[in-house]
Amino acid sequence: MYLNKFNSGGRDLNRIIMSVITVAMLVFGLSTANASTTLMTIGVSPFYQPPLTTVETLRAMVLEKGQDVKKGFEKAGRPELYAPFVAQIETTQIERLDFQKGSWFEWMFFKKNGKGVVRVAKDVTWANETTFPGFKFDIDYKGSRYTFAVPLGCGNIALMGMSAVPAKAKVVPPVVANLAPRCGMKVSPVRAFCGEVITVDASSSTDNDGTIEEMKIVFVDDMGKVVREEVINDTLVADVAMPYGASSLTVTLTDNDGETSAQEECTVAVAGVSRVRFLADVGYYRQFDPANYLFGRIGLEYKFNEQFAVLALIGGAPQVEGHDGASAFIIDLLAEYSFGSRYFVDLGVGGWITDADDDLEAENSQLDLVAGFGARIYGEPEDFNASLFVEVRSAFDELDGLYDYGRFGAGVRFRF
């Protein structure tokens, strides 16, 4: 009986001891699991050796120690971060900095004495006054940004914290001002008679940010007054009539946004010349029969082109001296050919109409052949000018008596 009591008491004591040990182990385990780590030295338990020196060596370490890195994330309780970590380490921005005293890490990979399996220390604080160099970078995963640190001296991968990925600022495209079209133009010919068609070619014009929709053509005289304006759509080549008095032509282009080209880019000097001009002749005829006449004519010139024109003249030739002949009324129609910029020849017919004796060849009314030659001596071709000319006229039926009955003259012709 005594023995039984002793054995029973022993069993009770063993149970008490085991309970105490179990509680102690639980308490110890919990305190160990939740214990913080104060870090004073880098490199005692390195995850990787030799020390890292560049970003390239960091990336090479992750590639080389891929399985250990994966195991470390698993032991840290964040296995889902392994794949984005490995993928983004190649492209994320990595900065090198010195970590100050008090730098805190949620957890950190390490290997005890640099050997063996990967271990994870949690709640790690750098407590040394001396800073340590390391890398710092971010890895994004499912809307969260994880900030990592890696000391250069040991390669221990450590999580510093987590934050939300900043919302990307909405990029508002800058408002770009519409560029005006650039005008390039050719006009052919630049000198033309009133109503004559000229070609305005602005096909070399450009609009870098749109299309050219309209071409406006404006003719201006030498006083700055608009003499004609035309708007051309959907083409940059147009045939237009030259107006009289035009001294310049300006093309203005409008693009699809309403912007217009600069007028000074497409302005060219032109000349709109009238086909019709007033004329006045004054001069002297000598008839060797004998007789002397003064003559004067007025009329119109119509130019077909720069070389050929027709002159219609009317006037009189009063006799001032002579035994034969008589004062006459003159109607002349002459064709004129111009050459050498200032010279001309005339050839045509004229009416020499008198009230004298029709039976006398020197005095009768007659249809004359008229020929002349002259040169401009004053003024420009399209301005008021004066020319000297010589002229001979004789009735068609008196050409064989040209010396006796022909009239040889000289005069001045004014063009207005």
Reply yes or no on whether the pLDDT at 20 is more than 50.
Answer: no
Query: Burial code of 206-224, b = ≥16 C-beta within 10 A, e = fewer?
Result: ebeeeebebbbbbbbbeee
As a whole number, mean pLDDT of residues 32-51 equals 83
Q: How confident is the model at residue 10 (pLDDT cuts 50, 70, 90)?
A: low
Instruction: Report cis status (omega within 30 of 0) of the bond before 189.
Output: yes
Cα angle value 367/373/374 (rounded, 5°): 130
Q: What is the mean pLDDT of the chain?
A: 89
Residues pairing with 311 in the sheet: 301, 334
Alpha carbon distances (Å) from 144 to 96, 139, 165 = 22, 8, 5
Q: Please spell the DSSP secondary structure of 222-282, one letter per residue.
A: TTS-EEEEEEEES-SEEEEEPPTTEEEEEEEEEETTS-B--GGGGEEE-EEE-SEEEEEEE
pLDDT in tens, 195-247: 999 999 999 999 988 899 999 999 999 999 999 999 999 999 999 999 999 99
Reply yes or no on whether the pLDDT at 329 is more than 60.
Answer: yes
Q: What's the residue count for the chain?
A: 416
What's the token pair of residue 276? 């019709």
The secondary structure element, H or E, covering residue 33 is: helix 2-33
Q: What pLDDT, on the 0 to 100 scale, is given for residue 178?
A: 83
Domains belonging to the chain, first-starting first, are: 37-164 (no CATH), 186-273 (2.60.40.10), 276-415 (2.40.160.20)
Q: How confident is the model at residue 364 (pLDDT cuts 50, 70, 90)?
A: confident
Q: What pLDDT, on the 0 to 100 scale, is given for residue 30?
A: 33
Strands, E assignment, 176-236: 186-188, 191-193, 197-201, 212-221, 226-233
Taking every pair of C-alpha atoms in the chain, what is the biggest distance, in angstroms? 200
More confident residue, 13 or 162: 162
pLDDT above 70 as % of the chain: 90
What's the token pair of residue 282? 């004054």
Q: What pLDDT, on the 0 to 100 scale, is given for residue 172?
A: 80
Alpha carbon distances (Å) from 333 to 300, 346, 355, 411 = 10, 10, 21, 17
Calpha distance 56→379 (Å, rounded): 88
As a whole number, mean pLDDT of residues 260-268 equals 87
Reply yes or no on whether the pLDDT at 193 is more than 90.
Answer: yes
Q: How confident is the model at residue 28 (pLDDT cuts 50, 70, 90)?
A: very low
Reply yes or no on whether the pLDDT at 17 is more than 80.
Answer: no
Q: What pLDDT, on the 0 to 100 scale, is given for residue 302?
A: 96
Q: What pLDDT, on the 0 to 100 scale, is given for residue 192?
A: 94
Q: How confident is the model at residue 167 (pLDDT cuts 50, 70, 90)?
A: confident
As a whole number, mean pLDDT of residues 150-171 equals 92
Alpha carbon distances (Å) from 43 to 40, 73, 114, 118, 228 = 10, 20, 8, 15, 92
Reply yes or no on whether the pLDDT at 32 is more than 50.
Answer: no
Calpha distance 395→402 (Å, rounded): 8
- pTM for the whole structure: 0.53
Q: How confident is the model at residue 33 (pLDDT cuts 50, 70, 90)?
A: very low
Q: What pLDDT, on the 0 to 100 scale, is given for residue 171?
A: 79
